[in-house]
């Protein structure tokens, strides 16, 4: 059976992708940010996931205002990157895993989630910046197969935090039901607080960002009490991307332990942060399996 080794929350700001593409990672103004991902790389090298399920929001590349699914899941063999106008380098395609994707889709539909199934899907910076931060190209080809899950954060009505957390629970159940020995990491991308337009452009709420980072670990259901209008008021129009973190957190099926977190503050008008949560349930299961194998 597939096992969820943990979850990662990370920002996906286009400026970060530009810094990666320009090779600015060791520049004084960028080095502290990129250095904060070194513990993430160490953890990934330890747990060695086979598949990354990446929860993000599409920025008009696949879906626009006239065609906006609430939840869309990739079921393709590969996912090509397209620069949708943010000045980012186009990166090589990412490997998919259609059989795994269809297993997730079928299970989540059985749990009464109306999923848009995408047998062709392009990925934008919401996906690629996160992948570039977690698996830098300097370390070689990306070692994981991927499943993109796009959440609507653009066109009203948006799914509520409670609905996204429930989606995560259904996702975790679907992953663990897949009948193959896989190690899976779930990545939630986006945010934290930011607003890119209107009279509140540049809005950041550090206090609420830090509250979210605390509750994601200790009490994620507390965040499900907020409505989308609450989140817009507290985090800005684009700060609602925190619902993608809630999908990630909902997918973790046991007690979690925080391995690493760092709040960076503002990068390009957006609060940036990273967090790694280990699924202790997964560790316990693998330990039991190892002991069992030793006695066979």
Confidence at residue 281, expressed as pLDDT on a 0 to 100 scale: 59
The DSSP output letter for 86 is: S
Q: Pick the catalytic residue: 125, 264, 286, 290?
A: 125
pLDDT at 269: 80
Q: Please confirm, yes or no, whether 194 is among the known catalytic residues.
A: yes
Closest CA to 212 of 239, 233, 185: 239
Beta bridge partner(s), residue 117: 73
What would the CATH number be for the domain defined by 3-295? 3.40.830.10
* Cα–Cα distance, 18 to 70 (Å, whole number): 29
CA neighbor of 130 nearest in space, from 97, 88, 163, 160: 88
pLDDT of residue 98: 98
Cis peptide before 101 (omega within 30 of 0): no
Element (H, E) at 46: helix 38-47
**Taking the CA of residue 121 as centre, how many other CA atoms within 13 Å lie in the half-sphere pointing to its CB?**
29
Burial classification of residue 272, based on how many CB atoms lie within 10 Å of its CB (0-12 exposed, 13-18 middle, 19 or more buried): buried
The residue count of the chain comes to: 296
Q: Which of 194, 286, 290, 295 is catalytic?
A: 194
pTM (two decimals)? 0.92
CB 139 within 8 A of CB 26: no
Q: Are strands 145-151 and 94-95 parallel, antiparallel or unpaired?
A: unpaired
C-alpha torsion sign, points 94, 193, 43, 151: negative
Specify whether 12 is catalytic.
no
- Paired residues of 72 in beta bridges: 116, 150
Instruction: Report pLDDT for 99.
Output: 98
pLDDT score for 295: 41
Could you tell me what percentage of the chain is helix, strand and coil, using 3-state DSSP and rounding each to the nearest 5?
40, 25, 35
Per-residue pLDDT of the chain (296 residues; tens, 9 = 90+): 899 999 999 999 889 999 999 999 999 999 999 999 999 999 999 999 999 999 999 998 899 989 999 999 999 999 999 876 677 888 999 999 999 999 999 999 999 999 999 999 999 999 999 999 999 988 888 999 999 999 999 999 999 999 999 999 999 999 999 999 999 999 999 989 988 788 888 888 999 999 999 999 999 999 999 999 999 999 988 889 999 999 999 999 878 999 999 999 888 888 899 999 999 755 454 444 444 344 44
């Amino acid at each position: 059976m597939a096992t969820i080794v943990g979850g990662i929350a990370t920002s996906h700001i286009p400026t970060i992708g530009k810094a990666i593409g320009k090779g600015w990672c060791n520049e004084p103004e960028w080095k502290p940010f990129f250095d904060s991902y070194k513990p993430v790389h160490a953890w990934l090298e330890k747990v060695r996931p086979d598949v990354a399920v990446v929860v993000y929001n599409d920025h008009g590349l696949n879906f626009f205002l006239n065609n906006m699914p609430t939840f869309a899941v990739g079921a393709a063999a590969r996912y090509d990157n397209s620069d949708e106008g943010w000045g980012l380098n186009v990166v090589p395609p990412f490997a998919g895993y259609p059989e795994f994707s269809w297993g997730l889709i079928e299970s989540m539909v059985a749990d009464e989630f109306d999923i848009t199934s995408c047998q062709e899907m392009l990925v934008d910076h919401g996906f690629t910046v996160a992948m570039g931060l977690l698996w830098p190209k300097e370390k070689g080809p990306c070692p994981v197969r991927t499943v993109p899950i796009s959440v609507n954060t653009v066109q009203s009505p948006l799914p509520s935090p409670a609905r996204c957390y429930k989606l995560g629970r259904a996702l975790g159940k679907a992953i663990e039901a897949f009948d193959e020995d896989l190690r899976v990491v779930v990545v939630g991308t986006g945010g934290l607080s930011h607003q890119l337009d209107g009279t509140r452009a540049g809005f950041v709420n550090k206090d609420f960002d830090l509250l979210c980072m605390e509750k994601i670990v200790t009490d994620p259901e507390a965040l499900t009490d907020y409505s989308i209008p609450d989140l817009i008021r507290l985090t800005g129009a684009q700060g609602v991307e925190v619902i993608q973190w809630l999908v990630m957190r909902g997918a973790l099926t046991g007690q979690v332990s925080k391995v690493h977190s760092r709040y960076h503050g503002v990068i390009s008008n957006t609060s940036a942060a990273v967090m790694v949560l280990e699924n202790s349930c997964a560790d316990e299961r693998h330990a039991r399996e190892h002991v069992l194998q030793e006695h066979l």
